């Protein structure tokens, strides 16, 4: 079956006009090359996917699927089932913390993740969604004068507040990057890890970043992914920010996470 024919057999439902789609009708552990090409193309088109019905996947199968995209990223926290490139993301009444701040994963690495995957093992009866924001739309929503101003700038990203053992010093990435596969420009700053603009004085940097943080996560650029047990969320860190919805209590939410590294440093 050709790539086009395989895509025609899927149930694909866009989440919003900005980004994202729900996908039903495939098993990521059984994809041939054409099937993988379909999923790859859908991710580039929509930025974030909710592939339902993947609860049968073992962690090994999830990792094997991730390695089809590239080298798996080692986060640095506790390994899951002995794999240092897999992470347990769990919140429950005893440990209610959810990463609800807008961010792009691990941009404090010189080679950060390009793709993140979360496999839902246990979800609350309501809430616990992941919210995404398109950084393509955020860049395109700037005035031409602002684009001209921010295009040549660089920003410092610092993760020492997250992992002082791994993050020894800030790293620099362009404020605006070019997606290496789509050729589209995207903002690449986030409130979690971007600390300052290299070329600006402190007060100028603070003012610009404050504007960009508010601008790049506005509602018109967003989509919300609602998990079911067995939902596999995949999103493109090169053009998407995300935040967890910390809107559930008294229940558990457990996700298994892997991420895939950029092939090279982000660039403009």
Q: Is residue 257 annotated as a catalytic residue, yes or no? A: yes
3-class DSSP state of 62: helix
Task: Say which of 75, 121, 173, 242 is annotated catalytic.
Answer: 242
Counting every residue written for the chain, the total comes to 268
Residue ranges of the alpha helices (H) in 124-255? 135-140, 144-150, 202-216
Q: What is the 3-state secondary structure (H, E, C) of 210-224?
A: HHHHHHHCCHHHEEE
Give, for 113, the enclosing helix (H) or strand (E): strand 113-122
Q: Is residue 226 annotated as a catalytic residue, yes or no? A: no
Q: Is residue 40 annotated as a catalytic residue, yes or no? A: no
Task: Say which of 52, 85, 105, 253 is annotated catalytic.
Answer: 105
Task: Say which of 52, 63, 103, 121 is annotated catalytic.
Answer: 103
Q: Is residue 103 annotated as a catalytic residue, yes or no? A: yes
Cα–Cα separations (whole angstroms), residue 117 to 110, 113, 224:
20, 10, 15
Residue 125, class by beta-carbon neighbours within 10 Å (0-12 exposed, 13-18 middle, 19+ buried)? exposed
Q: Residues with catalytic annotation? A: 103, 105, 242, 257
């Amino acid at each position: 079956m050709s790539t086009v024919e395989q895509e025609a057999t899927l149930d694909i439902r866009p989440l919003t006009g900005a980004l994202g789609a729900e996908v039903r009708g495939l098993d990521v552990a059984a994809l041939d090359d054409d099937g993988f090409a379909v999923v790859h193309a859908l991710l580039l088109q929509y930025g974030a996917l909710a592939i339902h019905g993947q609860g049968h996947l073992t962690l090994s199968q999830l990792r094997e699927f991730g390695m089809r995209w590239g080298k798996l990223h080692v986060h640095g926290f506790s390994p899951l089932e002995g794999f240092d490139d897999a992470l347990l993301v769990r919140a429950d009444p005893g440990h209610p913390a959810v990463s609800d701040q807008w961010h792009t994963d691990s941009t404090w690495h010189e080679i950060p993740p390009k793709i993140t995957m979360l496999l839902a093992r246990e979800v609350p009866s309501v809430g616990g969604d992941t919210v995404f924001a398109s950084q393509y739309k955020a860049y395109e929503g700037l005035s031409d004068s602002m684009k001209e101003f921010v295009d040549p700038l660089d920003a410092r990203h610092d993760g020492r507040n997250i992992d002082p053992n791994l993050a020894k010093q800030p790293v620099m990435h362009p404020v605006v990057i070019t997606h290496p596969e789509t050729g589209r420009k995207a903002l690449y700053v986030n409130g979690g890890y971007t600390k300052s603009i290299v070329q600006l004085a402190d007060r100028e940097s603070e003012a610009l970043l404050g504007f960009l943080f508010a601008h790049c996560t506005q509602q018109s650029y967003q989509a919300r992914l609602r998990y079911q047990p067995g939902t596999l969320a995949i999103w493109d860190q090169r053009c998407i920010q995300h935040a967890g919805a910390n809107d559930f209590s008294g229940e558990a939410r457990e996700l298994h996470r892997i991420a895939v590294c950029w092939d090279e440093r982000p660039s403009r």
